[in-house]
């Protein structure tokens, strides 16, 4: 069982930056870890994911070139560096983990992830 705790959310103006962190605890080593976000009235959206046992990454088109997912295995921590933030990035951001076998394509669908954090709010004002 993996426990996930996010931090680093906040309020920024458009064009600003934030770095989210997700600390993982528990014995299990996930195959993938990812960041999702959900705005009010919208479905949960996969933002970025990483192969936790390697370095392969995948991004949603909406954040490519602006967001960077990374990890520090020694600290059991996942990061999301968010630059050039836009008002449409406003959402609750969730960290997620998957213990599934490795796939040819890193999954960004919420249904593929079984461990979830409580979320951290990101608000971007124009």
Q: How confident is the model at residue 5 (pLDDT cuts 50, 70, 90)?
A: very high
Q: Please state the rounded mean pLDDT for residues 113-124.
A: 96
Structure confidence by residue, pLDDT tens digits, 54-111 = 899 999 999 999 999 999 989 999 999 999 999 999 999 999 999 888 888 999 999 9
For residue 101, CA distances in Å to 34, 46, 63 come to 15, 19, 26
Q: What is the mean pLDDT of residues 19-24?
A: 97
Tell me: pLDDT of 28 over 90.
no
CA angle 15, 20, 24 (to 5 degrees): 170
């Amino acid at each position: 069982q993996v426990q996930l705790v996010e931090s680093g959310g906040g309020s920024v103006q458009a064009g600003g930056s934030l770095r989210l962190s997700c600390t993982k605890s528990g014995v299990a080593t996930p195959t993938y870890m990812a960041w999702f976000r959900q705005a009010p009235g919208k479905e949960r959206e996969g933002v970025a994911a990483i192969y936790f046992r390697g370095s392969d990454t995948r991004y949603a088109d909406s954040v490519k070139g602006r967001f960077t997912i990374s990890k520090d295995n020694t600290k059991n921590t996942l990061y999301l560096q968010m630059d050039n933030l836009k008002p449409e990035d406003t959402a609750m951001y969730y960290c997620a983990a998957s213990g599934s076998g490795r796939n040819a394509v890193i999954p960004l669908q919420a249904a593929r992830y079984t461990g979830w954090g409580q979320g951290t709010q990101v608000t971007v004002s124009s």
